Chains A and B, each alone.
Chain A
Amino acid sequence: MIHVFGRPLRPPSQLTRLILLGVLAAALMVLDHRSNQLAKIRSALSLLAAPIHFLAALPARAGGSMTEFFTTRDALRSDNDRLQAEREILMARLQQQAALEAENNRLREMLGSATRVSDRALAAELIEVTSEPFTRQILIARGSRDAVSVGQPVIDAYGVMGQITRVMLATSQATLITDAGHAVPVLVNRNGLRALVFGTGAQDTVRVPYLTALSDIKEGDLLVTSGMGGTFPPGYPVASVTKIVNDPNESFLEITAKPTAHINHSKQVLLIWPGAKAPKAEASAKPERAAPRARAGAAR
Chain B
Amino acid sequence: MTLSPQTKARLALVSTFLVAIVLSIMPGPTWAEPFRPDWVGLVLVYWCIAAPGRVGVGTGFVLGLAMDVLYGALLGSNALVKSLLAFLANRMHLRMRMFPRWQQAVAVMLLLALDQLLVLWIRGAAGRAPETLFYWTPSVVGMVIWPWLFVILRDVRRRAKIA
CA distance A149 to B134 in the complex (A): 33
Knowing A22-B80, A166-B72, the reply to whether A130 touches B57 (Cβ < 8 A) is no
Total count of chain A residues near the partner, CB < 8 A: 55
Q: A56-B22, A130-B33 are in contact. Are A42 and B83 (CB under 8 A)?
A: no
Question: Which of A133-141, A224-232, A244-252 lies at the interface with chain B?
Answer: A133-141
CB distance from A37 to the nearest CB of B (A): 10
Q: How far is the CA of A18 from the CA of B70 in the complex (A)?
A: 23
Q: Is the CB of A180 within 8 A of B25?
A: no
A130 to nearest B CB, angstroms?
6
Number of interface residues of B (CB under 8 A): 55
- Chain A residues contacting B80 (CB-CB under 8 Å) are 21-22, 25-26, 29
Is B150 interfacial (CB 8 A cutoff)?
A: no
**In the complex, A281 has a CB within 8 A of chain B:** no
B56 near A129 with CB under 8 A, answer no
Indicate whether A52 sits within 8 Å of B84 (C-beta atoms), given known contacts A60-B27, A133-B36. Answer: no
CB atoms of B84 and A22 under 8 A apart: yes
Q: Of A5-13, A101-109, A150-158, A287-295, which binds chain B?
A: A5-13
Chain B residues near A201 (CB-CB < 8 A): 130-132
Asked if A45 and B36 make an inter-chain contact with CB atoms under 8 angstroms apart, the answer reads: no
Q: Assess whether A203 is interfacial by the CB under 8 Å rule.
A: yes
Contact A5 B76 (CB under 8 A): no
Query: Beyond A5-B10, A17-B58, A25-B61, is A137–B130 a contact (Cβ under 8 Å)?
Result: no
- CB contact between B79 and one of A4, A25, A48, A166 (< 8 Å): that residue: A25
Cβ-based interface call for A53 (8 A): yes
Asked if B61 and A139 make an inter-chain contact with CB atoms under 8 angstroms apart, the answer reads no
From residue 129 to 143 of chain B, which have CB atoms closer than 8 A to chain A?
129-132, 134-135, 138
Q: Residues of B contacting A133 with CB < 8 Å?
A: 33-34, 36, 135, 138
* A117 and B25 alpha carbons, distance in the complex (Å): 40
A6–B57 touching, CB < 8 Å: no
Asked whether B14 is an interface residue with its Cβ less than 8 Å from the other chain, the reply is yes
A26 CB contacts on chain B under 8 angstroms: 76, 80
Tell me which residues from 1 to 46 in chain B have a Cβ below 8 Å from any Cβ of chain A.
6, 9-10, 13-14, 18, 21-22, 24-28, 30, 33-34, 36
Interface string of B124-163 (1 = CB under 8 A from A): 0011111110110010000000000000000000000000
Instruction: Tell me the residues in window 200-217 of chain A with beta carbons closer than 8 Å to chain B beta carbons.
Output: 201-203
- Tell me whether B54 and A5 are in contact (CB under 8 A): yes
Q: Would you call A53 and B25 a contact (CB within 8 A)?
A: yes
Contacts of B122 in A (CB 8 A): 29
Beyond the given pairs A14-B56, A46-B69, A134-B34, 16 more chain A to chain B contacts, judged by CB atoms under 8 angstroms and listed by A's residue number, are A2-B61, A5-B59, A6-B54, A14-B87, A17-B83, A24-B76, A25-B77, A28-B75, A29-B74, A29-B76, A53-B70, A60-B27, A130-B36, A133-B33, A201-B130, A201-B132
A141 to chain B, nearest CB (A): 14
CA distance A42 to B132 in the complex (A): 30
Instruction: Check: B53 CB closer than 8 A to any chain A CB.
Output: yes
CA of A279 to CA of B160, assembled, Å:
60
Shortest B137–chain A CB gap in Å is 10
| B113 CB-CB contact with A under 8 Å | no
Q: Are A180 and B56 in contact (CB under 8 A)?
A: no
Give the distance in Å from the alpha carbon of A48 to the alpha carbon of B53 in the complex: 28
